[in-house]
Amino acid sequence: MNGILHEKARQRVESRVRPDEELLRLVGYERSMYPGGDGQVRPGPSGILGVTDLRVIHAEAGGTRNDTSYPHPTTVGAQVRTKIVGLSILTLNAGPLGVVALFGGRHEMRSLAETINGLAGKEIPEQPLSCLVPDFPPSALICKQCQVPQQHHRWDTEPTFCHGCLRTFAWTDGERERVAELRTCFDENASIIQLPQHLQEWALQEYRERMK
């Protein structure tokens, strides 16, 4: 495992723990397997899994593309299987990533499974609200509160909560229409100058607010 990338993943997990939640466990894994967009299982890089009293935070050492988090009610069936080539396998339902398999040391994987299973199905209190806004220049939709990108080919087109901070998205009809229009532009690889004027102005307005 690359030490620098591993440390960056650990820092991302720690930075995403909200003041009102408690980090219970922080464990590294050596490699991963997850379903690809075509239904085939793909190998993934090493990374860090953080377990809080509200959710699981998942950060890959290979980059932020698959960084996500998911509340405990969706995290069911965390299991540790027999060691393969000196590694134990933890399988779990990883929210928008689907069912993933994480390979790591026996003690680390067992401690993760025990912590996760102890919280699975836990009732999550009502979460603070957020909404989806474009980043700038517009290339993805991000959570207004934590700025984590939500545009992902395996994620819901209308997510109910942020996969970065767990805040609930408050949707209005106007926001649904605007977000759907922007997603279509992203899918068509439209540049910023090709976006409709009102979407350009929306992205710029949100950017100015973040810079205050």
Question: For 106-128, how does the pLDDT look when each residue is reduced to its tens digit (9 = 90+)?
Answer: 888 889 888 988 887 778 888 88
CA gap 128, 182 in Å, rounded: 25
pLDDT tens track for 136-153: 877 778 888 888 877 554
- Residue 46 contacts by C-beta under 8 Å, 6 or more apart in sequence? 1, 2, 5, 6, 28, 29, 30, 31, 32, 60, 61, 62
Whole-prediction pTM: 0.74
Q: Any idea where the domains of the chain sit in the sequence?
A: 3-119, 129-211
Residue the block writes with tokens 């699981």: 56
b/e 108-147 (16+ beta carbons within 10 angstroms → b) = bbebbbebbbebbeeebeebeebbbbbbbebbebbbbbbe
Q: Work out the pLDDT band at 67, boundaries 50, 70, 90.
A: confident
The answer to whether 53 and 125 have CB atoms below 8 angstroms apart is no
Residue by residue, DSSP assigns 99-151 as EEEEEE-HHHHHHHHHHHHHHTTPPPPPPPEE-EEE-SSSSSEEETTT--B--
Class of 3-119 in CATH: mainly beta
What's the pLDDT at 153? Answer: 43
